[in-house]
Amino acid sequence: MEHIGEQTIKFKNPPTILETSSIVGPKEAQGPMAKYFDQCIEDEFWGEKSWEKAESKFVKETVSTLISKSGISATDIEYCFAGDLLNQCISSSFGLRELNIPFFGVFGACSTFVESMCLGSVFVGSGAAKNVLCATSSHFCSAEKQFRFPLELGNQRPPTSQWTVTGSGAAILSASGEGPYITHITPGKIVDMGIKDANNMGAAMAPAALATLVTHFRDTGRKPSYYDAIITGDLGHIGKEILIELAETKGYNIKSNYNDCGVLMFDKETQDTHSGGSGCGCIGTIFSGYFFNQLKSRKMKRILLIATGALMNSTSTQQGESIPGIAHAISIEV
């Protein structure tokens, strides 16, 4: 393992992404990505008494599916890294409390999935573990209730707002395997450009995505064209456009091979999600469903996965604070 440039780690023994799994909710089931997920659940409660319990069930079932798909035993997984958007990350702790694997709670808002893969890959790449599990989730109803307004209010959403994805994505990273490999990680710094509109997360997080993108290219000596796809999650339609423009001002043209999981998740014309999807579950399920599939089938050979997070809560917004953003990147190659 080698620290290169300013903030990138290059693996001498790159961890393999052994397997992934993803389960989503009803709205995601109607979107263009539906066929790539392991399971689509029609009931947002999934038979539970609360949205919070349902979200925990998404985590639990996704991880259970993952372990069974992977062919390895849960006892061969040494550590688990997980987090979510709920206060004190309860979907992860309640969803995984019966898993019986040492647990690291992670919080990076919507960047949590890639943050957990950064941490997990260092554990595997260093020999501290042979297999680790990374998991995350979000749920539209529990997130709206907690961060915004009671759903029963039927509050109108501004055009810049994003739609929290209901779903869970999870991955096993392994010291042995035939790829796709995590070859580099570029963990991000907190970037706060003073945006205060909690209904425009794309704008708040785009500068953090830019910082990590540019640092990754500088640290590795790579250019945007090195990658088959550069993927953020989740800037949405507005944040995506901002990032393309910002990258151009830094001399990087990412127009042709860049997309965002918030843009990919829903149909803009028919699904009424305004600026697109968001939430830890968005990049978590789209990577685990779609991109992992593309890499395994060699349709894509190199992708840069950048997860962005807004490190605020409803109290900080009420107290007039701006929104600190963060973005963590991993380079995945076959």
Interface positions with its own copies (CB under 8 A): 1-3, 7, 9, 49-50, 52-53, 78-79, 83, 85-90, 93-94, 96-97, 99-109, 115, 118-119, 122-123, 125-130, 146, 187-190, 192, 309, 311-316, 319, 321, 324, 326
If the CB atoms of residues 7 and 20 are measured against its own copies, the closer one turns out to be 7
User: What is the nearest approach in angstroms of its own copies to the Cβ of residue 107?
Assistant: 4
* Minimum gap (Å) between residue 272 Cβ and its own copies: 27
Question: Residue 148 or residue 189: which is nearer to its own copies going by CB?
Answer: 189
Measured from the CB atom, is 124 or 254 closer to its own copies? 124
Between 28 and 52, name the residue whose CB sits nearer to its own copies: 52
The least distance separating its own copies from the CB of residue 296, rounded to whole angstroms, comes to 27
CB of 214 to its own copies, least distance (A): 14
Cβ 181 to its own copies, closest distance in Å?
Answer: 16
| Secondary structure (3-state) at 294 | helix
Query: Considering beta carbons, is residue 84 or 260 the nearer one to its own copies?
Result: 84
Q: Nearest Cα to 25, choosing from 53, 52, 55, 67? A: 55
The CA distance from 104 to 20, in Å, is 19
Q: Which residues contact 79 (CB under 8 A, 6 or more apart)?
A: 101, 102, 103, 104, 120, 123, 129, 132, 133
Q: 208 vs 295, which CB is nearer to its own copies?
A: 208
Structure tokens at 50: 């609360």
Nearer to its own copies, 66 or 85 (CB): 85
Minimum CB–partner distance for residue 123 and its own copies (Å):
6
Q: Which is nearer to its own copies, 184 or 240 (CB)?
A: 184
Name which of 40 and 175 has its Cβ closer to its own copies. 175
How many other C-beta atoms are found inside a 10 Å radius of the C-beta of residue 178?
Answer: 9
CA 161/CA 152 separation, integer angstroms: 18
In whole angstroms, give the CA distance from residue 74 to residue 66: 10
Residue 124's contacts (CB-CB under 8 Å, 6 or more residues apart) are 15, 130, 131, 132, 173, 174, 175
Positive/negative CA dihedral, 191, 196, 199, 202: negative
Q: How far is the CB of 219 from its own copies (least distance, A)?
A: 11
Min separation Cβ 163 and its own copies, Å: 19
Contact call for residues 198 and 312 (beta carbons, < 8 A): yes
295-302 contact pairs (CB < 8 A, 24+): 295/17, 295/179, 295/180, 295/332, 295/334, 296/180, 296/334, 298/334, 300/228, 300/229, 300/334, 301/228, 301/333, 301/334, 302/226, 302/227, 302/228, 302/331, 302/332, 302/333, 302/334
The rounded distance, in Å, linking the Cα atoms of 234 and 209 is 10
At which residue do the structure tokens 């990076």 appear? 108
User: Which two structure tokens, joined as six digits, stand for 176?
Assistant: 């042995």
The sign of the torsion formed by the CA atoms of 189, 111, 133, 217 equals: negative
Least gap, CB of 3 to its own copies (angstroms):
6
